[in-house]
Protein backbone atom coordinates (compact mmCIF):
# COMPACT_ATOMS: atom_id res chain seq x y z
CA UNK A 1 0.00 0.00 0.00
CA UNK A 2 2.83 2.40 0.80
CA UNK A 3 4.14 2.63 -2.75
CA UNK A 4 0.89 4.25 -3.95
CA UNK A 5 1.28 7.07 -1.45
CA UNK A 6 4.93 7.57 -2.41
CA UNK A 7 3.96 7.87 -6.07
CA UNK A 8 1.19 10.38 -5.36
CA UNK A 9 3.50 12.58 -3.25
CA UNK A 10 6.17 12.50 -5.92
CA UNK A 11 3.74 13.48 -8.67
CA UNK A 12 2.29 16.32 -6.60
CA UNK A 13 5.78 17.59 -5.83
CA UNK A 14 6.86 17.45 -9.44
CA UNK A 15 3.68 19.20 -10.59
CA UNK A 16 4.06 22.30 -8.43
CA UNK A 17 7.86 22.27 -8.08
CA UNK A 18 7.46 22.52 -4.33
CA UNK A 19 10.05 19.85 -3.69
CA UNK A 20 12.33 17.54 -5.54
CA UNK A 21 12.31 14.75 -3.03
CA UNK A 22 10.45 11.51 -2.75
CA UNK A 23 8.75 10.77 0.52
CA UNK A 24 8.52 7.51 2.34
CA UNK A 25 5.20 7.24 4.10
CA UNK A 26 4.76 4.75 6.89
CA UNK A 27 2.15 3.88 9.44
CA UNK A 28 3.19 3.48 13.03
CA UNK A 29 0.83 0.88 14.42
CA UNK A 30 1.92 1.48 18.00
CA UNK A 31 0.35 4.93 18.14
CA UNK A 32 -1.50 5.31 14.84
CA UNK A 33 0.78 8.06 13.55
CA UNK A 34 1.51 8.50 9.90
CA UNK A 35 5.19 9.17 9.44
CA UNK A 36 6.77 10.77 6.45
CA UNK A 37 10.39 10.99 5.62
CA UNK A 38 12.42 12.40 2.77
CA UNK A 39 14.54 9.73 1.15
CA UNK A 40 16.14 11.23 -1.94
CA UNK A 41 17.47 14.76 -2.22
CA UNK A 42 19.79 15.29 0.75
CA UNK A 43 19.70 19.06 0.33
CA UNK A 44 15.96 19.32 0.88
CA UNK A 45 15.21 20.44 4.43
CA UNK A 46 12.02 20.96 6.36
CA UNK A 47 11.71 24.76 6.48
CA UNK A 48 9.13 26.33 8.78
CA UNK A 49 8.22 29.83 9.93
CA UNK A 50 8.08 31.31 13.44
CA UNK A 51 7.78 34.65 15.18
CA UNK A 52 8.56 35.80 18.72
CA UNK A 53 5.02 35.25 20.06
CA UNK A 54 4.04 32.88 22.84
CA UNK A 55 2.42 30.47 20.41
CA UNK A 56 5.71 30.08 18.54
CA UNK A 57 8.22 30.45 21.39
CA UNK A 58 6.29 29.60 24.58
CA UNK A 59 8.41 30.56 27.63
CA UNK A 60 11.15 31.94 25.35
CA UNK A 61 8.86 34.60 23.83
CA UNK A 62 10.99 37.57 24.89
CA UNK A 63 12.24 38.80 21.51
CA UNK A 64 15.80 37.67 22.25
CA UNK A 65 17.42 34.87 20.28
CA UNK A 66 19.20 31.94 21.91
CA UNK A 67 22.48 33.64 20.94
CA UNK A 68 21.43 36.76 22.88
CA UNK A 69 20.51 39.02 19.98
CA UNK A 70 17.33 40.94 19.30
CA UNK A 71 15.22 38.95 16.84
CA UNK A 72 14.94 40.35 13.34
CA UNK A 73 14.10 39.22 9.84
CA UNK A 74 17.07 37.33 8.43
CA UNK A 75 17.48 35.08 11.45
CA UNK A 76 16.84 31.36 11.46
CA UNK A 77 16.73 28.71 14.18
CA UNK A 78 18.45 25.34 14.12
CA UNK A 79 19.82 23.23 16.94
CA UNK A 80 23.14 22.00 15.61
CA UNK A 81 24.54 24.68 13.32
CA UNK A 82 26.77 27.17 15.19
CA UNK A 83 25.46 30.68 15.84
CA UNK A 84 26.50 32.91 12.97
CA UNK A 85 26.36 30.13 10.37
CA UNK A 86 25.03 31.38 7.05
CA UNK A 87 22.54 29.25 5.18
CA UNK A 88 21.21 29.73 1.68
CA UNK A 89 17.58 28.76 1.41
CA UNK A 90 16.00 28.18 -1.99
CA UNK A 91 14.08 31.30 -3.02
CA UNK A 92 14.90 33.16 0.20
CA UNK A 93 18.61 33.84 -0.05
CA UNK A 94 21.13 33.98 2.76
CA UNK A 95 20.01 33.85 6.39
CA UNK A 96 21.92 33.53 9.66
CA UNK A 97 21.52 31.00 12.46
CA UNK A 98 21.00 32.90 15.73
CA UNK A 99 18.28 30.88 17.40
CA UNK A 100 17.42 27.42 18.65
CA UNK A 101 14.17 25.50 18.56
CA UNK A 102 12.26 22.43 19.53
CA UNK A 103 14.29 19.22 19.72
CA UNK A 104 11.32 17.43 18.17
CA UNK A 105 11.84 19.34 14.92
CA UNK A 106 15.48 20.33 14.90
CA UNK A 107 17.09 17.50 16.81
CA UNK A 108 20.36 17.92 18.67
CA UNK A 109 24.09 18.04 17.89
CA UNK A 110 24.04 14.26 18.14
CA UNK A 111 20.86 13.73 16.15
CA UNK A 112 20.97 16.35 13.41
CA UNK A 113 17.65 16.88 11.72
CA UNK A 114 17.57 18.74 8.44
CA UNK A 115 15.13 21.35 9.64
CA UNK A 116 15.27 25.10 9.98
CA UNK A 117 12.90 27.74 11.32
CA UNK A 118 12.71 31.18 9.69
CA UNK A 119 11.92 34.24 11.78
CA UNK A 120 9.04 36.51 10.74
CA UNK A 121 7.94 39.75 12.43
CA UNK A 122 4.29 38.76 12.36
CA UNK A 123 2.69 35.51 13.42
CA UNK A 124 0.38 35.59 10.38
CA UNK A 125 3.40 35.72 8.08
CA UNK A 126 5.05 32.78 9.85
CA UNK A 127 1.80 30.84 9.71
CA UNK A 128 1.34 31.63 6.04
CA UNK A 129 4.87 30.38 5.31
CA UNK A 130 3.91 27.20 7.13
CA UNK A 131 6.12 24.21 6.46
CA UNK A 132 7.89 23.90 3.14
CA UNK A 133 10.48 21.47 1.85
CA UNK A 134 13.22 23.54 0.26
CA UNK A 135 16.80 23.20 -0.81
CA UNK A 136 19.17 24.46 1.86
CA UNK A 137 22.89 25.06 1.45
CA UNK A 138 25.03 25.55 4.55
CA UNK A 139 27.81 28.00 3.73
CA UNK A 140 31.27 27.09 4.94
- Under the rule (CB under 5 A), what is the footprint of Zn ion? 51, 53, 55-56, 123
Q: Which is nearer to Zn ion, 24 or 46 (CB)?
A: 46
Quote the least distance from Cβ 70 to Zn ion, whole Å. 16
Q: In angstroms, give the least distance from the CB of 48 to Zn ion.
A: 11
What is the smallest separation between the CB atom of 14 and Zn ion, expressed in angstroms?
32
**For residues 12 and 73, which CB has a smaller minimum distance to Zn ion in the complex?**
73
Contact 83, 76 (CB under 8 A): no
Closest CB to Zn ion among 24 and 105?
105
Q: Which is nearer to Zn ion, 23 or 119 (CB)?
A: 119
Strand stretches in 1-140, DSSP E: 23-27, 34-38, 44-50, 75-77, 86-89, 93-99, 115-119, 131-138
- Comparing CA positions, the residue from 116, 118, 113 lying closest to residue 75 is 118
> Coil, strand or helix: which one is 55?
helix
Minimum Å gap between C-beta 38 and Zn ion is 25
Per DSSP, the three-state class of 75 is: strand
Amino acid sequence: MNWILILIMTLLGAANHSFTATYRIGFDFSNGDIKQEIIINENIWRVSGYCSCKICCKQYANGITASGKKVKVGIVANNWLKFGTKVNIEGLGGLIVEDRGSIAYFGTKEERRKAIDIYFDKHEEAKEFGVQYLEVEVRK
